[in-house]
Amino acid sequence: MRPRSIAEFIGQRHLLAPDSPFMSQLGGGRLTSTIFWGPPGTGKTTLARLLCRQHGLTMHELSAVNATLADVRKVIDSRTPLLNPQAVLFLDEIHRFNKAQQDALLPAVETGDVILLGATTENPAFSIIPALRSRVRLVELHALSLEELEEGLTRAVERLSSERGCVADAADVLEPLAQLSGGDFRRALGLLEELWNATPTADGVKALLRETLDRILPSFVVRYDRAADEHYNHASAFQKSLRGSDPQAALYWLAKMLDGGEDPRFILRRLIVTASEDVGLADPQALIQAETALRAFEHLGMPEGRLAIAQAVLYVATAPKSNAVIEALGEASSRIARGESYPVPLHLADAHYASAAEMGRGVDYVYPHKSGSDRIPYLPQKLEGVVFYRPKSPAERERLLKLDTFLKHHHRLPPQPPAHVDTVRAWLEARRPDWLRTEDLAAELQLTREEVYAALRELELTGFVRLTPGARVEYPQDLPHK
């Protein structure tokens, strides 16, 4: 059933239309090195053969699965100066050649001693080395449409009728055969042959029926390669459907990836990324749902884990969207990349060690949990007033309004002593140490260093103790000795 001319070729109208750039280049009369890439059964090998026939060239066919560089050199050496100045080498599955083998092709392709025609189902951007890509033309073939497949199947049925016996009726099976083939004409012909062989002949006539097709082909095999181009294409479609708030499309791509054998953990990682990148604080529950689905899958496995994944996918797809988080982080990173990298202000620096106060670290820090306290800056001085996070969704704007209201109210309240002052005071009265490290006291009282530090500062302001450089503690008041 291979076509014998370009006119008989089915599909690839974007390449073979008379006014297409591809056909215009062929009209120049010279065949150039080309790599054809696209799904299986779309005519890559057939097109290469037709182009060689059109130019009157002999094509030497090798498969990169089992061919060696010695085989390639034999093709190059087969040239004759007068009769065959150029050798045409067709390498099927060219992506199977490793980097060194592809490098070995470069000199002959560069000089034009060899016209290299390659065929691959993988994206050349990932499978062909840049030096070789720059020396060949890349031509992409597309999966055949249902109409194109039906056209090809109609021709095949007519040929079967003329060569093997009359077909009474085939109109009922053309469309389902085309759908089952997934854009692969080779598969479509294989399915037709199976149907032909499974259909009995009555009085020299075969009736190709849908019932017979349903009996011998109960399911459709998904065309999905989890390690190649289809993997990235489907992941992209899935994530963009989530971002575009289309739960129907997100479920479709999810089902196709799962049925194609994709690792559910990969899908869940993309879901978690989307929950932060595209939903963010517009609905913080989206990230929790996605992360919980990962834990649920780890507990359940397949097939039950599919339900947890689908639930989280629907939640993320239907959640309100905001990319304010990724934009905020990107803006902060870009400023640093532009050279706006400043040291930590002294009042924010780590002050837990003995000589910190001597060096001015943490001295002007104000513990924010103390009501009525001053609002101190937390950015470097040269960045004060800079805004990175710009909320987009109503939920995000409401969160910031609540924060603003809280800060204004909190810092206007009458001053209250920080928490745990009485606890620290009681400990000091009981122990009366001459030396004190905040981290040791925090560990003993099961408090944070910040809480201990704030309590000590409050006790110092009231005159109960005095903290001196070197972690020494003085007691201006006459504390009883234990």
- Predicted local distance difference test score (pLDDT) of residue 482: 41
Angle at 464 between CA 459 and CA 466, to 5 degrees: 80
Average pLDDT along the chain: 84
- Predicted local distance difference test score (pLDDT) of residue 358: 65
Specify the amino acid at residue 212: T
Which is it for strands 137-140 and 34-37: parallel, antiparallel or unpaired?
A: parallel
**Is it the case that residue 353 has pLDDT exceeding 50?**
yes
Q: How far is CA 476 from CA 200, 459, 462, in A?
A: 110, 11, 11
Distance CA 157, CA 170 (A): 8
Handedness of CA 158, 159, 160, 164 (dihedral sign): positive
Percent of the chain with pLDDT over 70: 91
**Crossing angle of helices 171-181 and 146-164, rounded to 10°:** 130
Give the best-scoring range by mean pLDDT among 175-179, 223-227, 310-314, 379-383: 310-314
Contact 47, 5 (CB under 8 A): no
Q: Which residues of the chain are in CATH 3.40.50.300 domains?
A: 6-140
- CATH code at 146-216: 1.10.8.60
Contact 89, 62 (CB under 8 A): yes
**Is it the case that residue 348 has pLDDT exceeding 90?**
no
The DSSP letter of residue 7 is G
**Is it the case that residue 389 has pLDDT exceeding 70?**
yes
Percent of the chain with pLDDT over 90: 28
Specify the amino acid at residue 460: E
Distance CA 407, CA 417 (A): 17
Contact 128, 94 (CB under 8 A): yes
The contacts of residue 252 (CB under 8 Å, 6+ apart) are 241
- Predicted local distance difference test score (pLDDT) of residue 311: 95
**Is it the case that residue 480 has pLDDT exceeding 60?**
no
What tokens were used for 80?
A: 């004759």
Mean pLDDT computed over 173-200? 87
What tokens were used for 116?
A: 């290299």
The whole-model pTM stands at 0.57
Give the residue from 394, 385, 482 showing the smallest Cα distance to 434.
482
Place 319 in a pLDDT band, splitting at 50, 70 and 90.
Answer: very high
- Predicted local distance difference test score (pLDDT) of residue 327: 92
Q: Is 201 helix (H, G, I), strand (E, B) or coil?
A: strand
DSSP 76-136: HHT-BTTTBSSEEEEEETGGGS-HHHHHHHHHHHHHTSEEEEEEESS-HHHHS-HHHHTTS
Distance CA 431, CA 420 (A): 17
Q: Which residues of the chain are in CATH 1.20.272.10 domains?
A: 229-318
How do residues 430-475 score in pLDDT, each as one tens digit? Answer: 888 888 888 888 888 888 887 888 888 888 878 888 877 667 788 8
- Predicted local distance difference test score (pLDDT) of residue 49: 92
Distance CA 275, CA 288 (A): 9
**Is it the case that residue 176 has pLDDT exceeding 70?**
yes
- Predicted local distance difference test score (pLDDT) of residue 171: 80
- Predicted local distance difference test score (pLDDT) of residue 249: 92
**Is it the case that residue 8 has pLDDT exceeding 50?**
yes
- Ramachandran angles phi, psi of 336, nearest 5°: -65, -40
- Predicted local distance difference test score (pLDDT) of residue 340: 86
Distance CA 3, CA 278 (A): 48
- Predicted local distance difference test score (pLDDT) of residue 112: 83
How do residues 90-148 score in pLDDT, each as one tens digit? Answer: 999 999 999 999 998 998 898 888 899 999 988 888 889 999 999 999 999 998 988 99
Sheet holding 114-120, edge to edge: 59-63, 87-92, 114-120, 34-37, 137-140
Its CATH architecture, for the domain 6-140, is 3-Layer(aba) Sandwich (3.40)
Distance CA 432, CA 479 (A): 8
The answer as to CATH 1.20.272.10 being correct for domain 229-318 is yes
Place 416 in a pLDDT band, splitting at 50, 70 and 90.
Answer: low
Count Cα neighbours of 353 within 13 Å in the Cβ-side half-sphere.
Answer: 7
Mean pLDDT computed over 295-303? 89
**Is it the case that residue 84 has pLDDT exceeding 70?**
no
Place 45 in a pLDDT band, splitting at 50, 70 and 90.
Answer: very high
